[in-house]
Amino acid sequence: MKIYLPGGSLSSRTIYVQPGKERSDNSAWFARDSKGKVARNANGEKEAILFPVKFRNGSAEVDSALGQYIIDKGLASATPIVIASHVPATSADAEPPKRTLRVYR
């Protein structure tokens, strides 16, 4: 899934997300032990993976579940924002034509 930085930014940066800390609905968000089971910390909680998401020129390619999580959190958007480089003036923005009144006698 392709995701985009909010606001139409074309910058390159890395963000880090740990969706397993908030949601446990995807087993791919948790570390595995040597036996392939979900790893647990000293408190018995599942060990959530910290995912680096690398944006290059404003977009990143991620797993669809991770992408949806990032979009839901407001850290990215599903579509790029297209900003027009030139927007012509509308009739509301344009100055009305100047009128002159000529009087003939």
Residue 48: count other Cβ atoms within 10 Å of its Cβ. Answer: 20
pLDDT tens for 78-100 read 998 765 555 555 656 566 666 66
CA 50, CA 72: separation in Å to the nearest integer?
Answer: 17
Predicted TM-score (pTM) of this structure = 0.70
The residue segments making up the domain with residue 52 are 1-105
Is residue 72 over pLDDT 80? yes
pLDDT tens for 37-67 read 999 989 999 999 999 999 999 999 999 999 9
The total number of structural domains in the chain stands at: 1
CA 15, CA 54: separation in Å to the nearest integer?
Answer: 7
